[in-house]
Structures are given as C-alpha cells and as structure tokens.
Structure 1
Amino acid sequence: MDTEILSQAVDKSQMPPLHQKRVLAFINHFIINSCNFLNDFALKCESKFVDLERKMQKVEAALTIIEAKLASVPDVTDTTATPTASNTATEKVTSDAAEKTENKPVGGETTTTDNASDVPEPTVNATPEPTGVRACEDVRFKKFFKMVQFGVPAGAVKIKMQAEGVEPSILDNPNLLLTDGVTE
C-alpha cells in the first residue's frame, strides 16, 4: 500500500513546497544531536586518557622505587679478582724462567741438578686475550642485568632499555665484550 504511493507517477510541480520552518527544525535537530554525541564521545575519551596517564605515573613511580632499591644492593661479583689471577700466573711463569737462566753455568757447560726448574714449564699461549668489558659488568648496562637477576621479566627490562635509548639486544648476551665498555 505504501509502495503504491511511491511508485505512482506524481507530477512534482503540482505538489506544494515544504515549509521552511519545518526543514530548519529538522536540520537544527540533526546538528544538535550530532554535536551532543561528539561532545560526549570526546569527554569519555579524555577521561580515559586521564585515567591511563594516572596509571602510567603510578607504574613510573614504582619503577623508580625498584631502580633505587636495585641501586642500593651491593655487587655480588668482584670484577678485580679475574685480572689479578691471570697477572699472578704470568708473573710466576716469568720468575721461573728467570731462575732457570740463573742456574746455567758460564762457559757453555751443562750440569744436571735435581732442581724443580729442570722440569719443562707449560708455555703461555701467545694468542692475545680479547680486550674490552663484558656487557654485564659495564656501568651503563649493570642495572638492567640486576633487574633481570631480581626477577623482573626480560621483556619489561628490554622496554625500559629502549625507553632510555639503550640497545635491548645486549640483554640477550651478557658475556659480549664491549671495546667501549666502562667500568667503575
């Protein structure tokens, strides 16, 4: 029945025009409803952003507290023990070699003695030791390795490293030797 009215061929020039006040009322109603919807939407978004900002501030404050607690924990490993042990071994080999040369008689004669210096000494490898600082001992990365050691998830530590402008892949390889490493 309604479709019959629409499908009829009506001469639109014979129809009376719409009242301007009525058209104006429809347009005003549409604009007011659209503005109210957009204002409510903007208000909800803003309140959600404020809540998110508060939560982020709480997380940042907690992270600062954790960093301060980690900084107050003394180091477990002593970095000076490793180089001292290798230097002591090198000094012992050089002093044994000096004793060996002092026991040789002048004039080219060789004598046999029951001295411990006659036993051949193990030779020190001539390969140069790589120089640098291990990543876990570097001052710039030490706090991040402590965070992992105290149970902070590695993903969270990597995000923190990115936030501070540090390469997060260093966390995966703590024994990486850094030539530009800094120790205390």
Structure 2
Amino acid sequence: MDEDGLPIVGSGIDLTKVPAIQQKRTVAFLNQFVVHTVQFLNRFSTVCEEKLSALSLRIQQIETTLNILDAKNNTQEEGLQKTEVVTENVTTVAKDPRYARYLKMVQVGVPVMAIRNKMISEGLNPDLLETPDAPVPAWGDDGKAEESSDSESSFSD
C-alpha cells in the first residue's frame, strides 16, 4: 500500500460488483462537449475568414496604389526621357556657331551695343545673347531675317 492506503498493484475493487455507468448521462456529456467544440470552431472559422477577407481587401488596395504610383513614375520617366531627347536634339544658342562667336565677344569684353548692332546687321536676334541656353530658332523664326527681307522687297518697288 502507498501513503494514501491504496494498493500498489491494483485498485482492489471488484468491478463486477460496481454498478454500471448511466449511458444517458455519458451521452449527454459527450453531446455537450461536441456542441461546445463545434460552436467554438465555427466562431473561430468565422473570425479567421473575416480577418483574411479584410487582409485580402487591404492587399488589393495596396496593389492598386502601387500600380497607380508605378504608372505615374513611368509617365514621369517617359516625360524626362522625352525632355532629354528633345534637349539632346535641340541646339542651344551657346552651341550654334552663328551665335557662339558673339557670346565669346561678350566674354572678352566687347561692348554689348556693338555686338547687338553687328548681329542685327547679319540678321540674327540680339536678344538671344541674354539666354545662351535657349534653343536656337529656325531661320526666319527670330523675326529679324523676315524684317530684312521685307525691307529689301520694299526697296525693289
């Protein structure tokens, strides 16, 4: 026997003399356990589905936002690339040989009025001296060449 007075080898109870367990009571306990377990699992499943649905919606919103940002970024990059292409293909006043020598005269210190008069006499726009990074206008776009051609035609009448 152990400290509590129970036999070590067996219970010492003759099971044939013990009355049977009530089956209705056992079935009721099992039914209650199953019902509570199923209710818990249903609630747990519902909560998990709601959270997954909310997470899925949030992921879709983030993907949409990323797509919008990506589209904006691509548009901006294309705009920058077009601007770079345009600026690479356009000759500026400083790079045009017709205007470059006049800009050099300004740097050397030749009086600006003398340079302006010389440019007008050659049919160039003297206002472009102030904007050396501006694109060079096509022939006749600066207005000076057209005035000289108009004045020449007026003399021939």
Normalised by the length of structure 2, the TM-score is 0.44
Greater RCO structure (CA 8 Å; 6+ sep): 1
TM-score (norm 1): 0.38
More helix by share: 2
